[in-house]
Structure 1
Amino acid sequence: MAGPASNTSRAPAGIALLVGAVACFAVLDTTTKVISNSVPLLMALWFRYAFQAVATTVAVLPSRGLSVLRTAHPKYQLLRGLLLLFTSLFAFYSLRHMPVGEFTAIVMITPLVITLLASLTLGERVSWLRWALVVGGFAGTLIIIRPDGDDFNWAMLLPLGLVICNAWFQILTSRLARTEDPLTMHFYTGWVGTLAASLALPFVWAALDSWTLWASLALMGLMGTVGHFMMILAYGRAPVSTLTPFLYGQIGFAMLGGWIAFSHVPDRWSMLGMVMIAVCGATGAWLAVRQSRVLIEPVES
């Protein structure tokens, strides 16, 4: 009797931590867009991963030692790290060309794409309701992108590349989580991204003459690291089925960030598409969690 009561009493704290995590990710995306025309994006990407990798190492190694490096699937750890790196790369380039709120809404169709991939490649049965939610989410995406509209440009399709990479990242995460230590996975993710981005660093490094740009890079790294940490704490305090609907609060925080930093307010059609994605995505993710098929995590850059 004590266990369920304890979980129930801790659920509000878990929800608060998750809301804080998605707020951090929205700040990360907004800051990325702010500096996107002033800092080489590959340099910003390296800084973001290096901050996370070093912070994770400092936090984990003193207590776990080299045992954190043990993994039964080093190739999959490498692939998982590269998938997240490409996810971030698509995010950084997308944010250069798109408003933060609309970008975040499109990214939030990831759980729906996972449903599609699970059906096509993993042979999972998908109910008619989940298929209807997938169709609704993609319809919302088309309303935001409006490929036949006057404001459309091909850069608006970049978030779809992010969604595909992130969907495979999430599927691989759900498979590795059955046998791998979460801290080990997090450790490899940070360092694979850092080392891979380091290959391009000598070619893109630029001397920054403004302390505000350095402060923005530090803020990006801090928000990514703190957001991940708060997310881990949240899932330790509340069931995934309880937390899942609150993931879509990131859309609201992203819209707020876009308004504060760029005075941008989505038009009514974009708002309609964002609402459709939020409703269909939250419902679909909740159904997936209830059926214990795949772990859905917040999307971040």
Structure 2
Amino acid sequence: MSAPEKQHTLLGILFVIGAACCFATMDTTIRYVGAYFSVALVLWARYGLHAAIMTVWIALSRAHGFRSANPMFQIARGTLLAFSSTMAFAALRRMPVAEFTAITMLTPVVATLIARVWLGEPVSRLRWALVVGGFVGALIVVRPGSGIIGWAALLPLAAAFSNASFQIMTSRYAPHENPFTTNFYTGLTGMTIATPLLLASVADPIDTLLQAPAEQVGALAAIAVLGTAGHLLLIMALGKAPASTLMPFQYVQLAAAALAGYLAFGLAPDGWSWLGMAVIGVCGAASAWLNVRAAADRHRPVSAVQVDTVAD
């Protein structure tokens, strides 16, 4: 590898680590504002500001446009991701950030399972072992019957299944779309779905924002900025290095989530949680690496979401 290639690879790795830190900080911030704002308001702010940021980005860039080659793909993809975010935001009101992140990191493992059931794709013994191992890791984290997390663990699990479906769909259609245009429609679709939910909520969203402390409103805006920045960093990372090289570094998010949760709330995973997170991290990273390698073998371009394991 030449010196310029090494520099590009290093920059790509730094971008992915930056994205992981953005997502971990975003999830911690969501848990922080959960005591003040409804899930509908957080969801609307997350995607509304995301759409606004990408509108400005595309308007200032001559290389990207708003026209989509497949609008139905954008709607279906955005709907799946919005559902994932809804489950994730609801979960973060009820469970620690690190344990939540660990369960959502099952996404590559779940994608293998869905590809077998939905698409009939062959699954090797190694992949089945990784699927089983990932769910064993989740059971170690949750420890059913212990009362540590409880039924709330079903929420990030639902997010992982929805996000896995989102990734499978995106891996097949995204190569025909501009990634920045797709990122714009991600925000637009999410905002469109969140708007009626927000209007149907009991509390008046305008009064809620006006009465909320300034730091809470600022945190709400930070959620959108962090989510948008994380996805943009992933896109830029893939322009610097192969996905198979970058993907394992996405699991830095597990450590970042544990650190952020401890600094913000004084919550640290116990020994069993660390063990379960390690099992999920190994199985998830291996599954994602195999998925990326399989896409490369089929000579299909790899999109940003194939290294994006969290529903943010």
Superposed, 1:149-298 pairs within 5 Å as 149-204=146-201, 205=205, 206-207=208-209, 208-292=211-295, 296-298=306-308
TM-score by length of 1: 0.94
Deviation at 1:203, TM superposition (A): 3.4
In structure 2, which of residues 20, 26, 29 is the aligned counterpart of residue 31 of structure 1? 29
TM-superposed deviation, 1:180: 2.0
Q: Distance in 2 between matches of 1:167 and 1:97?
A: 23
Q: Deviations for 1:27-53, whole angstroms, at most 9, x for unmatched residues?
A: 000000011111112101111111110
Q: Secondary structure at the match of 1:292?
A: helix
Structure 1 segment 3-22 matched on structure 2, within 5 A: 6-22=4-20
SS at match of 1:37: coil
Residue correspondences, number: 298
Equivalent residues of 1:133, 1:280 under 8 A apart: yes
Mapped partners of 1:61, 1:165: distance in 2: 31
In structure 1, C-alpha distance between the alignment counterparts of 2:196 and 2:274, rounded to whole Å: 40
Taking a change above 3 Å as real, the CA distance of residues 150 and 225 of structure 1, as seen in their structure-2 partners, is closer
Q: Select between 228-237 and 142-151 the one with higher mean Cα deviation.
A: 142-151
Question: What is the CA-CA distance between 1:164 and the residue it aligns to?
Answer: 0.9
Q: Distance in 1 between matches of 2:175 and 2:231?
A: 20
Residue pair 1:8, 1:238 contacting (<8 A) in 2 also: no
Bigger CA drift: 171-180 or 10-19?
171-180
Gaps of 5+ in 1: none
Structure 2: distance between partners of 1:248 and 1:51: 26
> Measured at CA, do residues 215 and 152 of structure 1 come closer, stay the same or move farther in structure 2, by a change above 3 Å?
closer
* SS of corresponding position for 1:126: coil
Cα distance in 1 for partners of 2:223, 2:60 equals 25
CA–CA separation in structure 2 for the residues paired with 1:79 and 1:149:
37
Q: What is the rounded CA distance, in whole Å, between the counterparts of 1:229 and 1:73 in structure 2?
A: 21
Report the secondary structure of 2:35's partner residue: coil
2:299 match: none
RMSD: 1.8
Q: Report deviation, 1:183.
A: 2.1
User: Would you say the 8 A contact 1:14–1:243 is kept in 2?
Assistant: yes
**Identity across matched positions, percent:** 46
> Partner of 1:106 in structure 2?
103
Instruction: Give 1:103 deviation, angstroms.
Output: 0.3
Asked if structure 1 preserves the Cα contact closer than 8 Å seen for 2:58 and 2:66, the reply is no
> Structure 1 stretch 211-220 or stretch 200-209: which is displaced more?
200-209
Q: 1:7 offset after TM fit, Å?
A: 3.0
1:28 and 1:224 in contact (8 A); partners too: yes
The residue type equivalent to 1:44 in the other structure is V
TM normalised by structure 2 equals: 0.91
Amino acid at match of 1:111: P
- The aligned counterpart of 2:65 is 68
